[in-house]
Structures are given as structure tokens and as C-alpha cells.
Chain A
Amino acid sequence: MDPNIQHLYEMLSKAQGYIFPNELDLQWGILIVVYPYITGLVAGAFILASLERVFNVRVLKPTYHIALLTALSFLLVATLPLISHLSQPQRAYEIMITPHSSSAMAIFGFVYLWYLMVVLLLEIWFDYRESMVVWSKEKKGIMKWVYRILTLGLSDISHETVKWDKKLGYLITIIGIPSAFILHGYVGFIFGSIKANPWWSTPLMPIIFLFSAMVSGIALVMFIYMAISYFRKQPVELKVLDTIGRYLFFILILDFTLEGLDQIHRIYESDESFEIIKLLVSGKLYLTLFISQGLIGTIIPLITLAFLQFYKRAISFRKTLYLVVSILVLIGVYSMRWNVVIGGQLFSKSFSGFTSFKLGLIGLDGTLMAAFWLLLPVGILTFLLWLLPPWKMVKEKE
């Protein structure tokens, strides 16, 4: 028997209450959990970098290029889990060629390409052009040519031209901030606009996605900054962590408030879906919602960050706390994506029962594949940091 069909027969005995017969199988598995998670990390990392640039936060200088390269590494992978989950991946290009104007999903390709080509690649290119020209002159052999190709032959690094690089880079940052907001708010809208699903259907969804994206992206850059410093055997600057930590603290408060508002509204209105959702969150989602997302991913980091706002002694202890917070927040936001995507499919649209989800280890939709999609960007980032090391860039002339 087809293993998928066999799997469904196993699931049949695990369904509770009444579900429509076609609802037994979850349509979107772990890959669709990974997709908004990765996209969120991109948007969040980029917004952090933009904050530094637009508001000229000098302290964050050491993380600026790390954040941009992180955003690029994750963005390059963002569509892959999405395409690989399609039943007909070879037809994926149709979404670009014949987009259906009324579909919330149809615009994704365009938003993605805009963000990749117009925002991220251009901004990084303008930032690195001067350094790449210098490197192409310093290096020998193949690397000389690699950098020469990357400069696209524009090797003028006179003061005037470099000034233009900066100006245009700044302009792209300005365009980039709303673009990052659109990129991830839009991912939230894909879920928030499904009126058939009361767990998803809320106008708050894009905003919640956006803020959780910022939270996760900031935590990721914090983590990667510490990891890079560790591998480069360079000291972690505490004032950098303090500043990122402060942003994380405030945005986490906003995120928590918005998600809390969503739930309070749901409870107080208690519409026809309330009973089934109450059963959902107190049952199948209990661990991932209250423990993983709520306690581990939100409450503990909030308390720790609040504590770090006024506790200014024991430097290495504070660094460890920041490390722990960044990891907890990343786990928390991953759980949030899980709770939205998987949670929204566990209850029947008849509001009378539940199906179940069993995550396999292998296969295209398994844990290992999801782990691969999450680790691939880290590999790309390592490569990019080797190719375009921010710490070897030409120093900015004051």
C-alpha cells in the first residue's frame, strides 16, 4: 500500500469527535512552519540593520553587515521549503507567469523578488562595492576575478563615487523598511485572510506576524553576532548586546501585547468557534502554545530582558543571559509559527472534532528536511561571511 495512504489509515483511529472526511490529512506540514519562520527572520534581521542605518545607531555598527548578510542568506532559502511542499513543484513558475489577481498567495513571488533584487542585493552591493574594488586589487588568482565580477566592472572608488554609493544605499534602506514590513505582513495576510479558519482569520494576523518577525530576526542577529565573535576569538561588545537587547525587549512587549489582545478578543467575543478553539489550546496546543511559545519564548525572555535593563554588573553573566534569551526567543517564535500553521489545521471546520499530526523524521515533509532548510541558510551565511567579511571592509572615512 502507498505509505501515504497507510499513514492516513493510522490517523483515522486518532481522530477525535467528528471531522469532515477530507480533513484527516493536514495539508500544510512542517515545511509551511519553516517558511514563515525563515521569512520572518529575514524581515526582522533587515529591520534591525535599517534601524542602525536610518537612525544612525553607531553602537550597532558591528552588527550592521552581519544583519544584512543574515537576511540575504535566509531570503535565498525562503522559497525553497515552499516550492518543495507543492504537489506539482515543476509548475511553480505559473505563479509568476499567470498570477491570479484575487489570490493573496499569487503576489508572493513578486514581493519576494522585489525584496531580493531591489532591496537586499542592491543595498549589500552598494555597501560592499568600494571594499570589493579594493579586494579585487589586493587578491590574486581566482579571487581577484570573483571580486572583479562582483563589482560589475564599476571600479571607480573616488571620494565622489563612494559618496554616491552611500547615498543610494541609504535610499534603498528607506525603501527597504516598508518592503520588509510588506514582505512579512503579507505572509501574515495569507493566513489572516482565510475566513474559513477562525484560528487564522483575524486582521491582527499580519501585524502579529510582523512583530514576531522582528523579535525573531533581532534575536537571530544577536545570536549570530555572539557566535561570530566566538569563532573569530573576538570579544563580544556588551554595549552592542545591551542595545540590541533593549530593542528586543520593547518589541517583544509589543508582540506579546498584540498576541494577548488577539486571544483576549477571541475569548471575550467567544463566537461559534470558541468551544473548539478552547479545546485546541488546552489540549493539542498546550505544550507548544503555553509552555514553548508563552513561557519559554516570551515570559522568561521578557523577565530576563527587564532584569538586564537595570542589572549592570557581572559582565560575563550578562552575556550568558543574552545568549540564553536569544535562543529562547528563537524557540518561542518557531513555536508560534507551529501553533498558527499546524494548530489551525488540527480542528475540523465542522467545529466538532480534531485530527492529529504526526511529524515524521524522514521524507520531504519530515523533521530532517525541515532541519536542513533551517541549517542551509547558516551554511550560506558562513560562505558569505568568508566572501564578504564585514570586519575586513574599507573603513568609513569620517
Chain B
Amino acid sequence: MGNERVKSSRRKFLKSAATIAGSAIGFNLLGSSRYLVFAAEPKEEALPWYGIVIDIEKCIGCGKCAKSCKIENDVPQEPFFFRTWVEQYTVENNGSVDIISPNGGIDGFEQQVPDEEVFKSFFVPKMCNHCSKSPCTQVCPVGATFESPEGITLIDEKYCIGCRYCVQACPYGCRFIHPVKKVANKCTLCYHRLKKGLDPVCMEVCPTGARMYGNLRDKDSKIVKFLKEHTTQVLRPNLNTGSKLYYNALSMEVR
């Protein structure tokens, strides 16, 4: 009898020990879930946390942004490599949608749909969304892609192994492999200019001020005021990429 009791109490002890150990491990796993749930968080309060606004109502499709970006950032001139480009959307009366972006819009656009068939037409400038939960940063196997403390997604060119996983992971098609450097390349929000107190070149050259960037942390900044006064939307919100590129007057046809 005594022996039985000892055994059963030992069993109880083992059971509760296992439960405690199990829950401890469980909580630990929850704590380390950042390995699974990927997100960059603003850390240094002193630094700005950048966001971008593109006002579709203001874009005239001149393509100056795409052209100046290529010059400023040494992007190959061939029409397959862009850090930023402009798309022209034309919704026809029958509901069909035509999208074009010849040479990224650098040479301007010509409307191919006859006027009487056009329901509406607009330009959509595209660039890196500098997502706070950026899928490209998440998948980089060596950490060559990273988020700067200001929330800008950057690439360490000396570190990138050229596996191209990030290009696959970006839902917006914003990355490419630089044909000369043989590493991934993308918009840096002209980080080199920001650091000198200059604006990103695409924003500086935009004749209508359709592009704007600013500190999302500063509640008095122009960008925060704009976001307050306008209804904006990010691209592919269903993917939960934490995009910090907000479009004003974004039409539902745009992806």
C-alpha cells in the first residue's frame, strides 16, 4: 500500500513538474516569436521614422522621378531596372483596365485608348514601400537586407549573396538584381541625401509635389497632417506588409 502511495505521489510530482516545464518552454517560445512574426519597430526616439505619401491626384506622369532616380542612384539605364517607375492606368468604358509603363514612364506616356472609350485614366508612381514588416527583410538568409533605425529598408551590397529570395518576396516588384554589381538593389529613399539634409531626388524633381516624405513620429509634420486630412491607402493591404507608402486617391484597380 505504502509503496503504491509513494508511486502515485511521485507520478503526481512528475506530472506537475512536466506541466510547469512545458508552460515555461511555451512562454519562452511566445517570447521568441519575433523569429516567426517579423516586424521592425522604431527604437531610437531621437531619430525620425519615415513614411511616404504619393498623391495620385497630383501626378502628371512626366516620369522625371524615374529618370532622376536612375541618374542619382546609378541605376542601369536599360528598361528592366527601376527603383521607381510610373504606371498609367486607363479604365475603359467596358470596364477593362489597361496598364502601361513604357521605360518606367521616363519618356512620358501616350494614351493608347481613344478618348471616347476612356472611362478614367490616372498615373501611379511606384517605389519601395519601406514596409515595417517587410517580407524582403524577413526572408534574406544572411541579413544583408535590413531596416535602418529610421525605418528605411536598405541592402548591404558587400554582404548580399545574390540568392534573389528577396526579389521573390517583395509583392510590389520593387527589387532587382543589379546587372553589374550582381547583388540585390532597390530604393533607399536616397538615404545618402537624407543624411546630408537633402530630400530624396524623386521628391525634389517632382514638378507638382505629388511625392512627400516625412517623420511619422512628429505629429506636427507635413506628412502627418496630410494623413490626417486625407483618406489614404497602402498597396495590397491584405498582405499586412506594414507598408509606409500611403497613396492618396488610390483607385481599386491598382496593385
Interface residues of A (CB under 8 A from B): 2, 4-5, 8-9, 12, 17-25, 27-28, 86-89, 91-92, 94-95, 98-106, 108, 190, 193-197, 272, 345, 348-352
Minimum Cβ distance to chain B for residue A373 (Å): 17
- Any A CB within 8 A of the CB of B49: no
- Decide: B140 and A103 in contact? CB cutoff 8 A: yes
User: Tally of A-B residue pairs with Cβ under 8 A?
Assistant: 139
- Decide: B161 and A22 in contact? CB cutoff 8 A: no
23-67 of chain B: CB within 8 A of chain A: 34-36, 38
Interface residues on B, range: 35 or more
Contact with A along B83-123 (1 / 0, CB 8 A): 00101000000000111110010000000000000000000
- Decide: A20 and B173 in contact? CB cutoff 8 A: yes
- Decide: A195 and B171 in contact? CB cutoff 8 A: yes
> Which residues does chain A contribute within 8 Å of B104, judged by CB atoms?
21
Q: Would you list 30 pairs from A and B whose C-beta atoms are within 8 A, ordered by A residue?
A: A12-B79, A12-B80, A19-B173, A21-B80, A21-B81, A21-B101, A21-B104, A22-B176, A23-B173, A24-B80, A25-B80, A27-B177, A88-B183, A94-B159, A95-B141, A100-B143, A102-B36, A102-B138, A102-B139, A104-B139, A105-B139, A105-B163, A105-B165, A108-B141, A194-B139, A272-B238, A349-B170, A349-B172, A349-B173, A350-B173
> Which residues does chain A contribute within 8 Å of B192, judged by CB atoms?
none
175-214 of chain B: CB within 8 A of chain A: 175-177, 179, 182-183
A193 to B138 CA separation, bound complex (whole angstroms): 11
- Decide: A87 and B164 in contact? CB cutoff 8 A: yes
- Any A CB within 8 A of the CB of B71: no
- Decide: B177 and A105 in contact? CB cutoff 8 A: no
A272 to B236 CA separation, bound complex (whole angstroms): 11
Known interface pairs A17-B99, A21-B85, A195-B171; 10 further A-B residue pairs with C-beta atoms within 8 A, sorted by A's residue number: A19-B173, A21-B81, A21-B82, A87-B182, A99-B141, A99-B142, A103-B141, A196-B239, A272-B238, A352-B255
> Which residues does chain B contribute within 8 Å of A194, judged by CB atoms?
135, 139, 168-169
A76 to B129 CA separation, bound complex (whole angstroms): 40
Q: For residue A24, which residue of chain B has the nearest CB?
A: B80
Instruction: State which of B162, B171, B179, B239 has its C-beta within 8 Å of the C-beta of A2.
Output: B179
Minimum Cβ distance to chain B for residue A294 (Å): 25
Q: A195-B171, A196-B169 are in contact. Are A28 and B164 (CB under 8 A)?
A: yes
**8 tightest A-B CB contacts, nearest first:** A87-B162, A20-B173, A196-B171, A18-B99, A100-B143, A27-B164, A87-B182, A105-B141
A18 to B179 CA separation, bound complex (whole angstroms): 23
Q: For residue B178, which residue of chain A has the nearest CB?
A: A87
Minimum Cβ distance to chain A for residue B121 (Å): 14
> Which residues does chain B contribute within 8 Å of A352, judged by CB atoms?
97, 99, 255
> Which residues does chain A contribute within 8 Å of B35, judged by CB atoms?
101-102
Q: For chain A, what secondary structure do more than half of its interface residues adopt (helix, strand, loop), or is it mixed? A: loop
> Which residues does chain A contribute within 8 Å of B99, judged by CB atoms?
17-18, 350, 352
Q: For residue B238, which residue of chain A has the nearest CB?
A: A272
- Decide: A8 and B80 in contact? CB cutoff 8 A: yes
> Which residues does chain A contribute within 8 Å of B36, judged by CB atoms?
102
- Decide: B80 and A86 in contact? CB cutoff 8 A: no
- Decide: B160 and A5 in contact? CB cutoff 8 A: no
Q: For residue A197, which residue of chain B has the nearest CB?
A: B168
- Decide: A103 and B82 in contact? CB cutoff 8 A: no
> Which residues does chain B contribute within 8 Å of A193, judged by CB atoms?
139
- Decide: B81 and A22 in contact? CB cutoff 8 A: yes
Q: A5-B78, A8-B78, A18-B99 are in contact. Are A195 and B239 (CB under 8 A)?
A: yes
> Which residues does chain A contribute within 8 Å of B126, judged by CB atoms?
20
> Which residues does chain B contribute within 8 Å of A8, judged by CB atoms?
78, 80
> Which residues does chain B contribute within 8 Å of A197, judged by CB atoms?
168
